[in-house]
Structure 1
Amino acid sequence: MARVSVTLWLFLCALCGLSGFWVSRRRPRIGEPFATLHLAGRAAPSLRTGLTPESARKAVRHLRGLLGTASLVVTSTERVLAGAGDGRPSDAAALAGTRAVLASGRHLVDGGTVVVPLVVDGSVVGALLASDAEVTAALVRTVTEVGRWVSGQLELAELEVSRRRAVDAETRALRAQISPHFVYNSLTTIASFVRTDPERARELLVDFADFTRYSLRRARDFTTLADELTCVDRYLLLERARFGDKLRFSVQVAPEVLAVPVPFLCLQPLVENAIKHGMPGEVRVVIRDAGPEAHITIEDDGVGMEPTRVRAVLADEHEGGIGLSNVDARLRQIYGQDYGLVVETAPGKGTRIRLRVPKYHSAPSSL
């Protein structure tokens, strides 16, 4: 929230600077502030992907429109990324100006060109070079404020990259948490059938291969609910082979929600937790269509937990909850704080875990 507020403040400063620039040159027309907002809005999506040749190429025309200068050039610390307008400095001159602001961290005026640094997390990552027939104090101030606004957008891009890295790291950690004990138990169970029931052993090996292929594949933010349920189905078949009649389970799913995008590995850890705390007993998975959402319930009739223990598990302070804190944190991070796990339990009363997933949440194009 603080970063967004800073970005908004920078944008307002830029808007004020631009207004001052227009006033110094001519009387502003009605609607010009809206045009400024429109141009900033057109530039922002590209900048929020980071400072690359592609993002600079898409943004530079709109940024030049914000400034009203004859030309504008965007550089990184090592190369010219994009330019727009006439009378631009040569690449060599642009990089010389970039190196100068890289060393000082402050703007400079070189003839008819204003050079301002682009700063992300305290480090200069590039520069804006605005050239015009006349360099006034108002122009310098305006270019400086726009440079700060651009830096704010690049900060948001860096924040998004960090968020995605954190999600990927959490998913890798979750896989590592699940795999060791489950792999050992599954292979031991399969080995027990090799002589007594070779056909059953073969079927379980296929189920085990399908499960590990899914859970150990390259991490992505989203998969489909159908794929998650296939993973759960393979997991339950392997656990049923291990526990026999001690484990009973049922899965009820509304067909309308099978294509809903959901976070990768969001159901199996909850089912695993239900089996761990519900044996011997029954595990029930129910998924309902609830209009704009899919409502998911994983329930067992096992020993249950104390509320204080549940809070410790969700806070990742107790080893008794396999993956619960991970799934809870990812749901809140992706959908918002209202979409975490809801755990209903009491000693001797079993445990019910509920979660909601928006049916129309935007998923990555790689899905």
Structure 2
Amino acid sequence: MGLFGRSLFGRSQLGSESDRATFRTLHTASLAAPPLRDGLTRSTAERSIRHLRSLLGAPAVALTDTADLLAWDGKAQHHAPQTAALIAHADEAGGPAVVERRTITCDDPGCVVRQAIVVPLVADEVPVGTLQVFAPRASAGLVRATTEVGRWVSGQLELAELDASRTRLIEAEVRALRAQISPHFIYNSLSAIASFVRTDPERARDLLLEFADFTRYSFREHGQFTTLAEELKSIERYLLLEKARFGERLQVTLRVAPEVLPVTVPFLCLQPLVENAVRHGFEQKAGTGTITITAEDYDRDCVITVEDDGTGEDPERIRQALAGALESGSVGLANVDERLRVAFGDDYGLVVETAPGAGTRVIVHVPKFSPGVHP
């Protein structure tokens, strides 16, 4: 056991001193990165600054926004009020600036701070703050190290801005998808409910409650994700309302493996597919139409299929719809495809099988677990 332990954890496993130093640097950077990926705020600065000072090995380090101090770590904290004034040095230099002792004077004869290095932090080509390092001497090595760490911090802030932009885009896409929920469906549903008020008041009341729950879910304001169970519950309400309008002409088959009900899916990712099946598959077909929805457990994935036996579509038109090249047509296909790919990667876009006269099958793969994705 002793030999086994040494082979796993002994010095030889870490290689040379250079290897060990590299490991420590990467580990420290990995600790600083998560807060910075949330953007530059007082909270994220306070959570990351200790690790940044460890990376630089300096007596003191400060993070600022474009106007004020956000966080300080290390010695000589009496210099902290001077950080706001030092921001201008990076602005004037257009890059890293070394600030001399005469600018950062203090009354403490034993103070370790003699010089400061100020590096601008930039995200999306816009200045967002500075990284400031305080030391006895701004050696060439420390200036280079501070500059590189500043660039790395800027890179993390760029990723944070990218994440925020992506979130805003997804929210805009969901709003656009809500706007596409057919006004005809709303009108027709209310008309169908009204038709039962006199002949079957109990059914009219139940349908009105289903309509209220459907609209409440569709226009909710919280969360980009939901569970498959919640999404399917909303689709059941939608189809119940459509069946009230079409009666026995619309047949629905639903087969769902219970173990996939808790799987996380993008909000409103199935509703457009089912609405397409009704609008493009059933409404344009004479006689009875069937919509089949299945959700199956497939190894690490959940596979969801929405299929209709309707009139089908030209595959080229579907390719154009998925590429966002059609201003009208299949509701939300490009929207849903894009949100699936953003959430889970390019392996998880929509697969559409169709041909004129052959109906349409839309297949959705989602992972049963994806880090950072939750309702």
Query: Normalising by structure 2, what TM-score?
Result: 0.87
Moved more, 30-39 or 241-250: 30-39
The CA RMSD measured in Å over matched residues stands at 1.5
Match of 2:357 in 1: 348
Distance in structure 2 (CA, Å) of the matches to 1:178 and 1:57: 44
Tell me which residue corresponds to 2:371: 362
CA distance in 1, matches of 2:277, 2:359: 9
Answer with 348-357 or 102-111: which moved more.
Answer: 102-111
Q: Does 1:242 align with 2:231?
A: no
User: Which residue of the partner structure matches residue 311 of structure 1?
Assistant: 319
Q: State the shift of 1:181 in Å.
A: 2.6
Alignment match, 2:106: none
Q: Is the counterpart of residue 144 in structure 1 residue 147 in structure 2?
A: yes
Report the alpha carbon displacement of residue 317 of structure 1 after superposing the two structures with TM: 2.6
2:217 alignment counterpart: 214
Q: CA deviation at 1:103?
A: 4.4
Displacement, 1:278? Answer: 2.0
Q: Note if 1:44 corresponds to 2:33.
A: yes
The 3-state SS of whatever aligns with 2:230 is helix
Q: CA deviation at 1:161?
A: 0.3
- Match of 2:162? 159
Partner of 2:334: 325
* Other-structure match for 1:299: 307
Cα separation, partners in 2 of 1:346 and 1:364, compared to 1, 3 Å? closer
Secondary structure class of the residue paired with 2:268: coil
Superposition pairs of residues 52-131 of structure 1, within 5 angstroms: 52-88=41-77, 90-111=79-100, 112-131=115-134
- Could you tell me which runs of 5 or more consecutive residues in structure 2 were left unpaired when the two chains were aligned: 1-16, 101-114, 283-287
What code does the residue aligned with 1:323 have? G
Q: How big is the shift at 1:316? A: 2.3
Match of 2:297 in 1: 289
Once residues 192 and 89 of structure 2 are traced to their aligned partners in structure 1, the CA distance between those partners, rounded to angstroms, is 67
2:204 is the counterpart of 1:201: yes
Identity %: 54
Partners of 1:41 and 1:50 in 2: how far apart? 16
Instruction: Map Cα deviations across residues 134-172 of structure 1 (whole Å, 9 max, x no partner).
Output: 221221121111111111110000000000000011001
CA positional deviation for 1:182:
2.0
Structure 1 position 129, deviation (Å): 1.0
Q: 1:79 to 1:224 in 2, by over 3 A?
A: same
> CA 1:67/1:237 → structure 2, altered by over 3 Å: closer, same or farther?
same
Match of 1:13 in 2: none
Residues 230-264 of structure 1: per-residue CA shift (max 9 Å, x gap): 00000000000011111111101000011111110
Query: Counterparts of 2:99 and 2:340 in 1: how far apart (Å)?
Result: 51
Secondary structure of the structure 2 residue equivalent to 1:145: helix
Q: Distance in 2 between matches of 1:363 and 1:41?
A: 17
Report the structure number with the largest CA radius of gyration: 2
Q: Distance in 1 between matches of 2:164 and 2:18?
A: 40
Change (3 A) 1:141 1:88: farther
Counterpart Cα distance in 1 of 2:135 and 2:189:
71
Bigger Cα displacement from structure 2, 88-97 vs 258-267: 88-97
User: For residues 215-235 of structure 1, what are the alpha-carbon distances to aligned partners after superposition, in whole Å with 9 as ceiling and x for unaligned?
Assistant: 010142210110001000000
**Equivalent residue letter for 1:33:** T
8 Å CA contact 2:343, 2:373 repeated in 1? no
Displacement of 1:104 in angstroms is 4.1
The count of corresponding residues between Structure 1 and Structure 2 is 339
1:277 aligns with 2:266: no
SS of structure 1 residue aligned to 2:310: coil
**Residue type of the alignment partner of 2:249:** K
Per-residue deviation at 1:97? 0.4
Counterpart code for 1:306: D
CA contact under 8 A between 2:264 and 2:373: conserved in structure 1?
no
In structure 2, C-alpha distance between the alignment counterparts of 1:282 and 1:363, rounded to whole Å: 37
User: 1:88 touches 1:131 (CA, 8 Å); kept in 2?
Assistant: no
In the alignment, is the contact (CA less than 8 A) between 2:72 and 2:80 conserved in 1? no
Amino acid at match of 2:177: L
SS state at 1:31 partner: helix
One-letter code of the match for 1:291? D
SS, match of residue 90 in structure 1: helix
**Cα pair distance change 1:164/1:170, threshold 3 Å:** same
Identify the range of structure 1 (351-360 vs 171-180) with the bigger mean alpha-carbon deviation. 171-180
Gaps (5+ residues) in structure 1?
1-27
Matching of residues 331-342 of structure 1 within 5 Å = 331-342=340-351
SS of residue in 2 equivalent to 1:328: helix
